[in-house]
A and B are shown apart, each in its own frame.
Chain A
């Protein structure tokens, strides 16, 4: 697949001049025509939480940036690599010092805060409109890059979370398909949970612990038909009946149905429990497919993705979006890089390297997507996927979700108490 992909990329180098602006070329033709590569020049900085690590750096510096320089020979890009774990610190110090990178890649849920504070450039002024973007992306994905009716970011890749079942284990237990309701989820989870004679857990029926507690809760919340915030993002809505039911389900899975024990898996586990058979079902990231290919490709045929169905369809998406600094000294060069990174070829290569889901709808037919069942599944179900974020204070409060969820799972608080306490914290932050 890698070789094939490389050949395809190599063959498409000649088309980069056209595809480099693919996003805008098919949407904002006027603005694109304004950008004359010979007239665009300057030294710009790129802050990126993707492309980190050796394979990512190789891809960016040896393959993608040379293509960009071919198109824009007068632009020089200085790359500052980081991880999502350290992105906050990087951005905070950058803003305080006034040295904001010209192009910043950041996550879904981040745009609101930085757009609200005037750190990001309104891309509408550079020729990108909401309507244009919605021709290339689903509505929900475009809205992840918007604030106050304006476009501030263009999506590059998505990270999705959905249910995954080990069909070999389910079939052993007499089930031919993944669960299609919460009741079935509980039933199958109980049937596939294995404990030893002394009661210690050997296989979890439904794993929620190897995923960040906030994101696991959000996925279940969406399947309950709940929302994180009200429509205008001025008040929390996750402590609604749907939210309480979602957290209640998670707590019951641990304490009542006992299909997973606290600590049985964790986000630090090197091998996902669905790969080594320590879990029959679970909520997983789309790159589980890539992990399985590297760890044990024999399980690939047994991994079946499913949307968690409750009162609604529950699927979560985060992702990486490209933004331009409002105070960039070379806005045209920054815009050129943004357009290049979000173009079909560059975005596809970045997604392939990380095993992620391309945001561009047209890439559904690409070889990469068609060869990766989880990515394909995610793209086919993006219409039901929901994102986190909402108010500009999201980054301030998102860290409070995990302790609240953990408190309920540990039985320290009821789901209602945990969510009400969290909602009070969040409301205080919004009102501040």
Chain B
């Protein structure tokens, strides 16, 4: 084993150390450790082989195939025909797909921060040693492990203009009921509400785990200095949660861009395409219109969006990362 391995150091130092290492001595060192190290590496490769095969078969090849098919006219009944950028040109001239991009961004813009804000507050509250804490944690997490279709059925009833819980509640306080899922003005906000609510559970869980890693002495010191609870929350809790926030932010954005099942069950993309999303358009192209080439092109655009947002997020939160 090399010196650097015995005393692990961070990447930059390791790189510098590697640069300083004499080319002539490096092979010598590798030879010296080769027997044990090779065995260890072989074992490592052996252990990750199933995972590599899995990723290769079910992720890498489909991704490459998707990129290839996005440049073809492939309608499942005949072999793909290379058409260069025709799918992309058509897609960006398609008013419905452009609307789906707008809807997806709008959905993400609201569901991600709202559910993150609610999740962090809930996590803090449920980290105070309250009575029935476990029950509440389970209750908040339940939507995450419940099938979206089942959840959507419940929300269909809540949003029902005639018998729905929401309109009944509004009427008791003198407000008019709405046709939540069939009025274009309200359909997307209604879907956003469901998305934000459903996403709270997993975010709360991550935040609770992160909260439990915050050193209690920080709060004790702040208390001794006379800091209020709100001050402690914003000056200690929020900064200490930044790494978790970055992680939650990324997975939330990816999840929001991939929203599909609740649209499929709640609105079918309607009314008049008011709630259609990029993933729903991919589904429609692939399974309703049998245009796999177009669906692949739409998937590539969705992938590009996610890559862009993730890179921006990494850049913005680089220090915390």
Using CB atoms and an 8 Å cutoff, list the residues of chain A in contact with chain B. 88-89, 92, 95-96, 113, 117-119, 200, 209, 261-266, 268, 278, 395-399, 402-403, 406-407, 410, 412, 429
Contact = CB atoms under 8 A, between A and B. Distances in A.
Interface in B147-163: 156, 160-162
Contact of A402 (B176, B177, B180, B270): B270
A396 B271 CA distance: 19
B287 A406 contact: no
A304 B290 CA distance: 40
Given A396-B288, A396-B291, A403 B273 contact: yes
Given A263-B182, A264-B161, 13 more contacts: A88-B287, A89-B287, A96-B292, A117-B78, A200-B176, A209-B182, A262-B271, A263-B180, A266-B160, A395-B290, A396-B288, A403-B273, A410-B271
B289 interface: yes
Interface residues of B, number: 31
Contacts of A88: 287-288
Contacts of B181: 263, 266
A370 B96 CA distance: 47
A258 B53 CA distance: 62
Contacts of A113: 290
B245 to A, nearest CB: 38
Contacts of B58: none
Contacts of A399: 284, 288-289
B291 A406 contact: no
Instruction: Classify the interface of chain B: helix, strand, loop or mixed.
Output: loop
Interface in B248-295: 268-273, 284, 286-292
Residue among A92, A96, A263, A398 having the largest count of chain B Cβ atoms under 10 Å: A263
Interface in B177-197: 177-184
Contacts of B286: 92
B218 interface: no
B253 to A, nearest CB: 27
A182 to B, nearest CB: 25
A92 to B, nearest CB: 6
Given A113-B290, A264-B161, A407 B183 contact: no
Given A95-B77, A402-B270, A412-B272, A263 B161 contact: yes
Given A117-B78, A263-B183, A264-B162, A396 B272 contact: no
B77 A403 contact: no
Contacts of A118: 77
A415 to B, nearest CB: 14
B76 interface: yes
Given A262-B179, A264-B162, A410-B184, A395 B270 contact: no
A406 B289 contact: no
A399 B268 CA distance: 10
Contacts of B183: 262-263
Contacts, number: 71
A89 B289 CA distance: 11
A40 B70 CA distance: 45
A406 B77 contact: no
Interface of B: 76-78, 96, 156, 160-162, 176-184, 268-273, 284, 286-292
Contacts of B292: 96
A403 B270 contact: yes
B91 to A, nearest CB: 13
B283 to A, nearest CB: 9
A118 B78 CA distance: 10
A266 B161 CA distance: 10
B98 to A, nearest CB: 14
Contacts of A266: 160, 181-182
B273 A395 contact: no
Contacts of B176: 200
A264 B177 CA distance: 11
Contact of B76 (A92, A278, A397): A92
Contacts of B182: 209, 262-263, 266
Nearest to A265: B162
A213 to B, nearest CB: 8
Nearest to A117: B77
Given A261-B179, A263-B182, A406 B288 contact: no
A392 B161 CA distance: 38
A267 to B, nearest CB: 9
Contacts of B289: 395-397, 399, 429
A410 B272 contact: yes
A92 B272 contact: no
17 contacts: A89-B287, A92-B286, A96-B76, A113-B290, A117-B77, A118-B77, A119-B77, A262-B179, A278-B162, A396-B291, A397-B289, A399-B284, A399-B288, A403-B272, A406-B272, A410-B184, A410-B271
Closest 3 CB pairs of A and B: A263-B179, A117-B77, A263-B182
A402 B268 CA distance: 10
B174 to A, nearest CB: 11
A395 B76 contact: no
A406 B161 CA distance: 17
Contacts of A402: 268, 270
Contacts of B273: 403
A92 B161 CA distance: 36
Contacts of A89: 287
Nearest to A95: B76
Contacts of A410: 184, 271-272
